[in-house]
Amino acid sequence: MSGHATKEFKVRWGMVIDVDKCTGCGACMVACQVENNIAPATPEMDAWAGVTHDASNKLRTLTWMLVYEINNKKAFPEYEAAYMPRPCMQCASPACVPVCPVVATDKNEEGGIVSQVYPRCIGCRYCMAACPYHARYFNWFDPTWPTGMDKGLSPSTSVRPRGVVEKCNFCHTRFQQAKDKARQDGGDPNNLPDGAYVTACAEVCPTGAIVFGDLNNPEHKVHALAHSKYAFRLLEKLGLGPQVYYYSKREWVHRLGDNYLPNEKKA
């Protein structure tokens, strides 16, 4: 679709998110911020510029993982709602990568995680415009933690300054740590067992709605789940080939996931 050759990987890290089990509690969003050193929106931030950074203004918040609330658009009593956690889709042929003028983002590592190198990013935001999933975020402000809170930062992710784009990277440092652990235990770092590497959101989820693993490996749970008839991907029609699958037994969720028109027949 994008005109670029899609790289094949032996390992493809991916998720299957059970929409029917997600209660929208938000624990994944919180765990993600903690793991990845996302500073909370500070009310007095950039007061000199007359700009306040309020977390209720969703145009300025950084939510690598964002739980959307979706509904079947019907009135009471037929109304139904569901929650849809949205990390970076780690597309097979990402729309964000070819538009980056400085190769700050790339999909080139075994595992298929789309990388983002912050010091390289020039903040042009082409990638944000290109991403149909709104998974990318721009640092409008320098990160500021409440006094003292920055003493307890996670060692997993570097702190990004103002002016760069960032996004979910499937808690990539955990991948590296899992490989180190495998090496230490005499295992194969390129063939991690199911569960050796999980993202912070999948780990914390109280209903286990987020399942993480290698989509290519039949020994990983996600392999079979992604092939289930109830599995679908967001905006599949665009052909970007996300490595994040959703799972629902509700037809309207499937239709919404691919943005079907009310009367359109599903392919």
Partner 1 sequence: MGLDRRAFIKFVVGGAAGTLFTPIPWKLADDASIWSQNWSWIPRLKYGALTADATYSKLCPAGCAVKVKKVAGIAYGVEGNSANELSKGGVCPLCATGSQMLRSPSRVAGPMKKDGDKFKPISWDEAEALLAEKLKGLKGQDGKVAAISGDLSGTANEVLSGFLAGLGSKSYFYMPADQTAMAKTWNGVMGGSGQIGYDLEEADLILCIGADIMDAFGPVVRNQKAFAAKRPMEGDKALTLVYAGPVRNRTAAVADKWVAVRPDGAAAFAMGLVNLLAKSGKSASLGGFSEFADLAAKFGPEAVEKLAGVNAEALKDVAKALFTAKNPVVVVGTEPGQGAGVALNAAGVALNAMLGSLTVLPEFPKAVASAPDRAGLLAKDLVGWLNAVDAGKAPAPEVLFVYEANPAYALPQAANMAKALRKAGTLVAFSTFMDETAALADLVLPAPHPFERLDDAQNPYGLGKATYALATAVVAPEKDCKGTPDFILGLSGKLGVDLGFGAFEDVLKAKVSAIGADWDALAGGAAYVSDKKGSAQASLDAGALSKALAGIKGEGLVLVAQAHLNIGTGKLATPPHNLPTIRDTELYGKDVFVQMCSATAKSLGVSEGSKVKLAAGGADISARVSLYEGVMPGVVAAPLGLGRTAWDPYTKGKGDNVSKILAVSAEPGTGFSVWAGSAVSVAKM
Partner 2 sequence: MEEKKTTKCGGGFLAFVLGFLLSVVAGWVVFPSLLYSELDQPIQFSHKIHTEDQGLTCDSCHFFREDGSYQGMPTNEQCSGCHSDVIGQTPDEAKYVQEYVQKNKEVPWRTYQYQPDNVLFSHKAHEPFECTECHLDVAKADKAPKYYENKLSGYSRDTMKMWQCERCHAENGVSNACHVCHK
Between residue 57 and residue 116, which ones bind partner 1 under the rule CB under 8 A? Answer: 57-58, 61-63, 67, 69, 71, 74-77, 79-83
Nearest distance from C-beta of residue 115 to partner 2, angstroms: 4
Q: Nearest 5°: CA angle at 254, between 99 and 197?
A: 65
Partner from partner 2, partner 1, none binding residue 34, C-beta < 5-8 Å depending on class: partner 1
Helix (H, G, I), strand (E, B) or coil at 68: strand
Q: Tell me how far apart the alpha carbons of residues 55 and 251 are, in angstroms, rounded to a whole number.
A: 33
CB of 62 to partner 1, least distance (A): 8
Tell me which residues in 92-131 interact with partner 2 (CB under 8 A): 106, 108-110, 113, 115, 117-119
CB-wise, 30 or 235, nearer to partner 1?
Answer: 30
Of 34-42, 103-111, 125-133, 253-261, the segment contacting partner 1 by CB under 8 A is 34-42
Nearest residue (CB) to partner 2, 25 versus 159:
159
Compute the least distance from the CB of residue 119 to partner 2, in Å.
Answer: 6
Collapse the DSSP code of 111 into the 3-class scheme (helix H, G, I; strand E, B; otherwise coil) and give the result.
strand
Least separation in angstroms between CB 44 and partner 1: 6
Q: Could you tell me which of 234, 241, 223, 224 has the C-alpha nearest to residue 258? A: 234
193: preceding bond cis by omega (within 30 degrees): no
Looking at residue 147, what DSSP letter applies? T
| Residue 40 found at the interface with partner 1 (CB under 8 A) | yes
| CA separation for the pair 166, 133 (Å, rounded) | 14
Shortest Å distance, C-beta 42 to partner 1: 8
Tell me if 173 contacts partner 2 by CB under 8 A: yes
Site for partner 1 in 205-264 (CB under 8 A): 205-209, 211, 224-225, 228, 230, 247
CA distances from 26 to 130, 162, 257 (A): 27, 26, 20
Strand-pair category, 13-18 with 244-247: parallel
Residue 10 has which token pair? 């032996």
Structure tokens at 14: 């991916």
**DSSP 8-state code for residue 7:** P
Among 2, 33, 105, 243, binds partner 1 (CB under 8 A): 33
Tell the smallest beta-carbon distance from residue 89 to partner 1 (Å). Answer: 19
Secondary element (H or E) of residue 139: none
| Residues of the shown chain interacting with partner 2 in the complex, contacts defined by CB under 8 A | 106, 108-110, 113, 115, 117-119, 156-159, 169, 172-173, 176-177, 179-185, 189
